[in-house]
Amino acid sequence: MNNGILSQEEIDALLKAQNLNVETEEDEFLSEMDKDILGEVGNISMGNASTTLSMLVNRKVKIDTPKIEIVSKEKLKNEYPKPFVAVEVQYTKGLEGANLLIIKKEDALRIVDLMMGGNGEVSDGELTELHISAIGEAMNQMMGAAATSMSEMLKTRIDISPLTVEMADLQSGQLDDNAVLQQTHFIKIAFQMEIMGLVKSELMQLVPFSFARKLIKDMTSYSEMEEDNLVQESHDQKVALNNKSDFISSGREGERKGMSKPLEKQVEVQPVQFAPLSPSSGSIEKSNLDLIMDVPLQVTVELGRTQKLIKDILELGHGSILELDKLAGEPVDILINGKLIAKGEVVVIDENFGVRVTDIVSPIERVNSLQ
């Protein structure tokens, strides 16, 4: 600056800084519709994850009511000064980027204690490597179930890499190098997590704006595609109805034209004679089914199967883990007397497990499978 006059370089620098601030504000803005989309995705995916956690801790778990807001890194440091468990979720297929899940240390201790057969009552202690490993396994299964739900919503395969779990303290700057926290602002999705009779806390998810924009875009594109398909289907139905109407009209017109012509030759008409009909087999089959309606059948729900060597079986003990041939969130098999008749998903009803049927064969096929 010479004599109070800005040079061209200084003017360009000021304009560049102003444009950068405008772009940053636009990138860090979420409309109400954007928040609704993120909330709906969070509700569905975390709902599936809560079912998985229920199976691990053998208690009813509810994770819902997401609250979405934009927070700065400084505000987050002031809200969470204590050490907590940070779980990094890296998406490798279908979606690109990473999320950060934050769990309070005492909540993590209770979850691990329940997984190991305890009552969830823990004293204020430090997380050991065993605790970190156990909570990592729980979160891995939960996020796998959540990814499955997102795959069904977006109609595309979504994969995640093995999770990274660590104790962290934002005040000390332990997570300053984390990919999620590189921006000055990010999206915080706070879920209400409740483990029946024990935990009523908050599970926090931190999402970069780039990841959220991609997710919102994919959800919007899929919704528009579904709407276009419905419009096209409705249009096809109208065309089919119009064609049918035209066909009927043309047929009637032909009949009228045919009636106006004189009959050239009288055709001898005789009444049709039908052979006696045999009794319907449907009533016989129904009466046969009525005879077995009170017969009790064994209903079994199969989570999965695996094969082990005899030496592996002999080495089983308290706390041993058997890995099954099904992924977390995959439908379970419903068997009747050992015969597969349906598939479903595990749900929790009060304090009991249950199964919601999602795919079932026809009644005739079910009876045939029992033979």
CATH of the domain at 353: 2.30.330.10
Answer for the pair 39, 192: CB distance below 8 angstroms, yes or no: no
Best CA proximity match to 86, nearest among 148, 158, 139, 142: 139
341 membership: H or E segment, kind and range: strand 339-349
For residue 100, give both structure tokens: 């950060």
CA 100 to chain centre: 18
Which of 218, 233, 267 is the endpoint of a domain?
218
Whether residue 268 lies inside any domain: the answer is no
Q: What CATH number does the domain containing 133 carry?
A: 3.40.1550.10
Single out the residue of 58, 71, 90, 30 nearest to residue 348, CA to CA: 58
In degrees rounded to 5, what are phi and psi of residue 93? -150, 140
Predicted pLDDT of residue 69: 92
Are 209 and 334 part of one and the same domain? no
Which residue range forms the structural domain that includes residue 332? 296-315+324-369
Mark whether 211 and 302 lie in a shared domain: no
Q: CB of 211 within 8 A of CB of 33?
A: no
Flag whether 70 is in a domain: yes
| Whether 59 and 206 share a structural domain | yes
Last residue of a domain, one of 175, 202, 218: 218
Shared domain for 167 and 306, answered yes or no, is no
Question: Same domain for 208 and 300?
Answer: no
Other beta carbons within 10 angstroms of residue 371's beta carbon come to: 5
| One domain, residues 213 and 339 | no
Q: Is residue 123 part of a domain?
A: yes
Buried b (16+ CB within 10 A) or exposed e, 280-292: eeeeeeeeeeeee
pLDDT at residue number 67: 92
- The token pair at 306 is 């695996």
Within a domain: 159: yes
Per-residue pLDDT for the chain (371 aa), expressed as one digit of tens each?
A: 555 566 666 666 555 544 434 334 444 678 889 888 898 888 888 988 999 999 999 899 999 889 999 998 888 888 776 788 989 999 998 888 899 999 988 899 999 989 888 888 887 778 888 888 899 999 999 999 999 988 888 888 899 998 989 888 877 776 767 777 777 888 999 999 999 888 898 999 999 988 888 888 888 886 665 555 555 666 566 666 666 566 555 555 555 555 555 545 555 656 656 555 554 444 445 556 666 677 788 889 888 888 888 878 888 888 788 888 888 778 888 888 778 888 888 888 877 888 888 888 666 665 555 55
How many structural domains compose the chain? 2
Structure tokens at 206: 């931190």
The predicted pLDDT at position 125 comes to 75
**Does residue 213 sit in the same domain as residue 304?**
no
Whether residue 212 is found in the same domain as residue 308: no
Structural domain includes residue 286: no
**187: exposed, middle or buried (C-beta count within 10 Å: 0-12, 13-18, 19+)?**
buried
90 & 179 share domain = yes
Q: Would residue 114 count as lying in a domain? A: yes
Same domain, 65 and 206: yes
302 and 201, same structural domain? no
Among 167, 183, 218, the domain-final residue is 218
Is 290 within the bounds of a domain?
Answer: no
pLDDT of residue 310: 82
d(CA 24, CA 26): 5
Q: Tell me: do 193 and 310 sit in the same domain.
A: no
Report the SS3 class of residue 3: coil
Residue the block writes with tokens 């969130």: 329
Q: Is residue 264 part of a domain?
A: no
